[in-house]
Amino acid sequence: MAEKNETPVLVLALLITMGMISGGLWWFSHNSGINLSQLGNSKSALSNSSQKSGANLAQSNTSSTDLISTRGVDYTALSHDLEEHNWKQADFDTTEDLLKAFGSNSERTGNVDPQEAANPPCQDIKIVDQLWSKASHGNLGFTVQRQILKQSGSNYHQAYNQMQWQRPGGEWLIQYSYDGHREKFKPGYEPDYGNPDKGHLPTFERGYNFKYSFDGTLAKCGL
């Protein structure tokens, strides 16, 4: 028996199948209101959006780690404590980090050395300020402290009263005792770490070491 040539039949079946698929897609597009030509564009836009999100995330991660100290200080611990709103530990970190940034004499004695203050670590001070400001939405840090002082007309008693460092009469609300290495807060005279007022923290060089003006250094550093 002679074999039949099935090629024309297969071609016809393929054409019929393709026609049915095309017709079905047309019917779906017509009745659903979806423009099929936009599906490819939507996929491309989604891909581009994902790429942009990844780029933004990478940029965010880069900026969060851009804490370049000019004095070899690692601000990772301070950054972490501020992110956790652990104000007490962050205040301690700030003191230790900046004393190290100012120099060996400052770190050794626990007070900024006037000679080392002549060449202040402005970049490091700004890093600390930015970390505090970011974590507190602008309510804490050196910048807001300087703003309060300027708004008071450089009236230190008024500014310190507003930041809850002093009473209106000038009595210090935060007081220290020196243990020969560091200034320690006296019991009952600690900062309000639970609900700090605007500008209340950090307390670095506030209420002690009256031979040196940290506000003068902040002004010198452009804050």
| Confidence check: pLDDT of 41 > 70 | no
Residue 64 has a pLDDT of 43
Q: What is the mean pLDDT of residues 93-111?
A: 97
Banded pLDDT at 53 (limits 50, 70, 90): very low
| Confidence check: pLDDT of 70 > 60 | yes
In this structure, what token pair is assigned to residue 24?
């079905």
Strand (E) or helix (H) holding 201: none
| Confidence check: pLDDT of 140 > 70 | yes
| Confidence check: pLDDT of 29 > 80 | no
**121 vs 203: CA distance, rounded Å:** 17
Neighbours of 141 (CB within 10 A): 24
Beta-bridged to residue 184, according to DSSP, are 177
Banded pLDDT at 37 (limits 50, 70, 90): very low
Cα 70 to Cα 108, 145, 222: the distances in Å are: 19, 23, 17
| Confidence check: pLDDT of 209 > 90 | no
